[in-house]
Structure 1
Amino acid sequence: MTELDARIAGAVSNNVDVANALAGLDRLAVFAAIDTWARPVLQQALCTVNRFDAENMAVIRLYSSDPVSYPPGGSKQKRGMPWGEHVLVQRRIYVGEGADAIRTSFDDHTAILGLGLQSVINVPVVVGDVCLGTVNFLMREPRIQDAHVNFARLAAYMAAPGFLA
């Protein structure tokens, strides 16, 4: 068993805080519990959760593990942006590895890179046929393994009740 496999097994068996947060349906508690639960596996330095405003093709931040750098309530316009088409419209996970991927995909790349973040997994959360938003995990390591992407997908979908609360 690899170190990553062991971290995944530990997280899967230790999901009590996430289950309790989901039972209470407190939006922020759900997002914070998922962020905490995913950290041993993904080792993210920043986790944000954004609601998708389809009418305005924008995302509005509901949760941030770093509210000073990325405060809740902040929004980003995604109309005409390749990232928005890929994640919000086509509803596909985006994996960005390295500083060039960050620069190419995000207007706020200077702030992201300034925090020492070098990779990202953005997971659209889709219920029925509606994209509710995204859960975003940003890491200091420049490379992401397939197991990280699969785990991020699971963690993000656990956040769906938080979007609906």
Structure 2
Amino acid sequence: MERLDYPSVLVHAASGSHEALFALLAGRLQTSIGFELFTVLIADPSERQLRRIYSTDVTAYPPGLADRVEPSAWFDQLFRKKEPIVAKDREEIASWLPNYDGFEGTDFGALVNYPVVADDQTIGILNLTDRAGRYDPDTPARIASETVLCSMAISAFLSQSGRSGKD
């Protein structure tokens, strides 16, 4: 994986240019891992919902309120244990998200949900989705080095939108 040019990344972050940071992150993830869909979610405690703040497919998965935050194994894994979820097929997706039907009518059949952690708190979820079999237990290790960039992009978004992330 190509090293980041941190001075230019920091200029984007300081200017609040979350779009440029997310686009850079998407390019890096596409090159190193691959995906059909990449999204980033943050918790919106005031709404008890997840808010999608970035999507590579804004028509089907637009920014805005996404899923309700409910107590579940998925929530515990990402927000309490701060560990990623890898599902290689729809059956494994259903074991984590039993009521989720957002992939009906698509070729999506595998996902990775990776918690983005700062100050020992999950501040966001990096999501990669692709065809069944695309991801395996080694995929999170390849994502780990990109979470710093994702954290910077989330911080830039929160700064630009006037949110603290702890509302």
Q: TM-score, normalised by structure 2?
A: 0.79
Structure 1 residues 21-100: aligned runs within 5 Å: 21-25=9-13, 26-54=17-45, 57-100=48-91
In the alignment, residue 23 of structure 1 is paired with which amino acid?
V
User: How many angstroms does 1:53 deviate by?
Assistant: 2.8
Cα deviation, residue 142, structure 1: 1.7
- Report deviation, 1:157: 3.0
Worse overlay, 18-27 or 92-101? 18-27
Alignment root-mean-square deviation, CA: 2.3
Change (3 A) 1:56 1:146: same
Q: What TM-score do the two structures reach when normalised by structure 1?
A: 0.80
For the residue of structure 2 that corresponds to 1:61, the secondary structure is strand
Q: 1:22–1:162: 8 Å Cα contact kept in structure 2?
A: no
Q: Give the letter aligned to residue 90 of structure 2.
A: A
Output the amino acid matched with 1:121. V
Runs of 4+ with >6 A deviation: none
Unaligned runs of 5+ in 2: 157-167
Partner of 2:140: 149
Any gaps of 5 or more consecutive residues in structure 1? 1-11
- Matching of residue 160 in structure 1 with residue 148 in structure 2: no
**What letter matches 2:120 in structure 1?**
D
Distance (Å, rounded) in 2 between the aligned partners of 1:128 and 1:36: 26
Taking the aligned partners of 2:119 and 2:81, their CA distance within structure 1 comes to 14
1:125 CA drift (Å): 0.8
3-state secondary structure, aligned to 1:112: coil
Q: C-alpha deviations, 1:86-107, integer Å up to 9, x for none?
A: 1122211111111111223336
Aligned match for 1:105, one of 93, 96, 119: 96
From the superposition, tell whether residues 100 and 34 of structure 1 become closer, same or farther in structure 2 (CA, over 3 Å).
same
1:151 is paired with a residue of what secondary structure? helix
